[in-house]
Structure 1
Amino acid sequence: MNKLLPFGLLFAALCTLLGRAQADDTVTETRPIDARVTRIKLDGMVDLKLRQGAVPTLTITAERRYMGKLATSQAGDTLHLESEMRGFKFNNTAVRAVLVLPALREVVSEGVGMTDIAGFSGDELELTMDGAGSMKVAVDYKNLKASLGGVGSMNLWVSENDSVELDLHGAGHITLGGRSRLLKASLGGLGGLNAHQFQVDSVSLDLSGLGNAIVNAKTNATLSLSGLGSVTVYGRPLNRSVSIDGLGKVSWK
């Protein structure tokens, strides 16, 4: 046992030195973009933080060996970020991008990283996620459209707006919070929707998949169930229209 102790200490020290060496090899690079960019297309393993600001900037942080594997290009109002590291697992923070834009209209993610969006406002924002990553959004738009077709997750928070439209056709999950006049949601996959903390005047829900949904409506609730999933409705809406052609059920809270 005593002989193993020095070996264990030596191994721990070696791991510490290797960790420090990798940390010391982390580099930061600024890449050129201009104020025309309002749309983002992501592919691969990239963690992206999107913030609103007057001056557009794109900063990439990664280990030196991975920096060249992230391609960035701008075509008109669209910025493409594509990583070649989709085929294997590496450090949790291998590639991190911080993007500052004056305005934002669309984000499409087909990768496995985390996307964090905050501080933007405007008339309409469209979000699409078809990968296995996650998306966290806190914005103030009059109209928000979100589509989830992969196995990832979306956590959306919107301030008082006119409408939110959701299309969930994958195996992921959407959590929605805030306030709006109208929520229109279509669930056709395996995933679920939790909009308990999203207060709306009217909700229109079409559930044809296997997932479950939780919504919160004050005035109108129009529900169509043709799959195996069930719906829980909070808020005690005054007007209720329910159509069930499947094995699901509706619960009123």
Structure 2
Amino acid sequence: QQITVTAGIRGIVMEIIDQQRVVIETPAAQIFGIASLGNDCYGVTRLLTLDPGEPITEAMIDAQSMYAVLIGGSGISAAALRKAVENQVRGIIIGSISESVLREFFQWTKRLPFLPGLRNWQWVSQTDSPLTIVLTEGIGSAPMATPLFELLANNDRREVYIESNTSLRHPHRRPRVIIPLSRSSNTSLEPPRPPLRIGATVRLLDHDHLGRIGRVRSLPALPQRIPAGIRTAAVEVLLDSGEAIWLPRSCIEVIA
């Protein structure tokens, strides 16, 4: 019996594993979110906002959004989510979403399995969602990080694939947005993750600075004592405010 499985992304099959899985290679731009709801999906990006701090409103969504993956800034309303479902939108990528919007849209009546602001909250990745929602910053009203927004905006009207699986416990998994690029001869391919180095632009993933952008100021070879009181592989990051902080290397993501 022949079974056809949609790959969801254009590329070249490089490896077949156990006659059940394949490895597909493609030049692509990619970003990692903090969390997501819904299944893996693919579509064509449609930029709805011009600023990473601007939310998606109901009026922005129309019939042209059908089968698209919408890109917004700081958030979205429950009414806009309902209209997106009505127009068969496949996915939405935004900076954050408020707890009240989640409760209203999913009609949750019981206590949520997470509380914003606490360090031990659990994500609701198994929620049956009619469309895929990717959050790049988390719960609340934070705008999308500018480098991420600019990358998505520069790839408006392109095919996109979203790996939506989120796991906050081991093994940790964060949602990934993949935008295949042309294989033309003038395409400059970069490593999937830029190397950690002094001067690198990084995105902070720790609880107190989630989503903020900074630059690596120092990168000691030996373990350092951080404010939590432990010694670990650490990096000193200079924030836009001029403040310098020490973080475990696991709490940063190199973006440039």
TM-score, normalization by structure 2 = 0.26
Instruction: Give the TM-score of the pair, scaled to structure 1.
Output: 0.26
The structure richer in strand per residue is 1
More helix by share: 2
**Structure with greater contact order relative to length (CA < 8 Å, sep ≥ 6):** 2
